[in-house]
Each structure stands twice: as structure tokens, then as C-alpha cells.
């Protein structure tokens, strides 16, 4: 769905749905269909960040709203607020994903970096104590995945007139796992910085 006229918010909604579907297949999420789970925002326990951000000289300042949060009636900067309470992120921290952020235009460069996180601190401190969230989580199944920690894969995307161009050449998925596990060669050709020859030279 990447292309001109698309909002970051809509792309985030799609990524959120895909994340929930995957967590349901693993058995981590239960007791509800996909539409119900989307309404509960339970995925924030595992997908707490936005989908990405713009790239350029001022990469995050892309919404009509300031990137600020409000706590106790006091306006605080994002840095000050996140240092005091790193888990209490509000929508203001996801400025590219707000409804009033401009849709992508040809020439826009963005990151698309979905991910899943298994943070014991975040889960045990914030999410599992909340019965409206924990009732959808199978803690026994979740425990089997806690050692994973998480994964987040980034692509840098150029929005073009008719779609997009992926500027990232990094191997992903099975290809990257093969390189890590077996020392297989990258298939991006000579000069790829992720080939085993390049790794040996580094």
C-alpha cells in the first residue's frame, strides 16, 4: 500500500493488524477475533512504537501538532518526558502517524520498520497488571518467547509517482538467517557489505 497519497496512519493500522494476526497464530493472544483485539489496542504491549518516520533534515516534525506530551498540566519536551516515564508514550510521540499528518508525496523518503518486542519490564510493569489487556494474553505461551527479546526490521523507502522504491539492500528473513547460521553468501552481488567476504574483511 506504499505510494503517494497514503497516510502513515493507514500504513500503521495495516502493520498493527499483521502484528496481531501473527501473535494470534503463535497463541500469545487469545480470547477474541481480530477486530475485537484491534479495538483493545492490546498490540501496544508488543508493538509499542510507531511504524517509522520521515527521513531528511527535520525527520520527525511532520504533524500540525507539536511533538510534546502533557503530564499533570505541564508541557514537557519529549526527551524530558521519556526520561521520567519511558513507558507512558502518548500519540504525540507518533507524530508521523497522527490523522492530521500530511499524506506521502512523490519524493518523500520514509522508514518502514515494524517490529515485535518482548520486554519483560514493560509487560510486567504496565501491560499484564492491566486486566483489560492481560485477559487477551496467554502468559504461559508468552513466557516461551520472552528470551527472544524482539526484532525490528527497517526499510528506507522512496515514494515515487506510481508507488515506491526500496532503498535498503540489507538481506532479510530466511536469507539473513542463512547468512548468520550457515555463512551463506549474500545474493545482492559483488560489493554488498553483508557478504561473508565483506564480514571477514571488517
pLDDT in tens, 120-165: 999 999 999 999 899 999 999 999 999 988 888 899 999 999 999 9
pTM value > 0.75: no
pLDDT score at 21: 93
pLDDT in tens, 10-53: 898 899 999 999 999 999 998 778 888 888 878 889 998 878 88
Q: 3-state DSSP call for residue 200? A: helix
Lowest mean pLDDT among 57-61, 69-73, 103-107, 173-177: 69-73
pLDDT in tens, 160-179: 999 999 999 888 888 887 87
**How many helices (H) and strands (E) would you count in the chain?**
8, 7
pLDDT score at 78: 38
Query: What is the average pLDDT score of the chain?
Result: 76
Q: Residue 8: which pLDDT band, with cuts at 50, 70 and 90? A: confident
Amino acid at each position: 500500500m506504499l505510494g503517494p497519497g497514503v497516510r502513515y496512519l493507514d500504513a500503521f493500522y495495516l502493520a498493527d493488524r499483521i502484528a496481531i494476526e501473527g501473535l494470534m497464530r503463535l497463541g500469545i493472544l487469545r480470547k477474541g477475533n481480530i477486530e475485537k483485539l484491534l479495538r483493545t489496542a492490546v498490540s501496544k504491549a508488543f508493538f509499542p512504537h510507531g511504524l517509522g518516520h520521515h527521513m531528511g533534515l527535520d525527520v520527525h516534525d511532520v504533524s500540525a501538532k507539536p511533538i510534546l506530551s502533557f503530564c499533570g498540566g505541564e508541557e514537557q519536551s519529549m526527551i524530558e518526558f521519556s526520561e521520567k516515564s519511558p513507558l507512558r508514550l502518548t500519540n504525540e510521540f507518533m507524530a508521523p502517524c497522527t490523522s492530521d499528518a500530511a499524506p506521502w508525496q512523490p519524493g518523500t523518503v520514509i522508514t518502514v520498520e515494524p517490529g515485535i518486542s518482548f520486554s519483560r519490564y514493560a509487560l510486567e510493569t504496565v501491560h499484564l497488571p492491566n486486566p483489560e489487556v492481560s485477559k487477551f494474553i496467554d502468559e504461559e505461551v508468552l513466557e516461551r518467547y520472552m528470551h527472544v527479546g524482539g526484532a525490528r526490521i527497517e526499510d528506507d523507502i522512496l515514494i515515487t509517482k506510481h508507488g515506491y522504491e526500496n532503498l535498503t539492500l540489507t538481506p532479510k528473513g530466511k536469507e539473513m538467517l542463512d547468512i548468520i547460521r550457515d555463512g551463506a553468501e549474500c545474493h545482492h552481488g559483488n560489493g554488498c557489505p553483508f557478504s561473508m567476504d565483506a564480514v571477514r574483511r571488517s
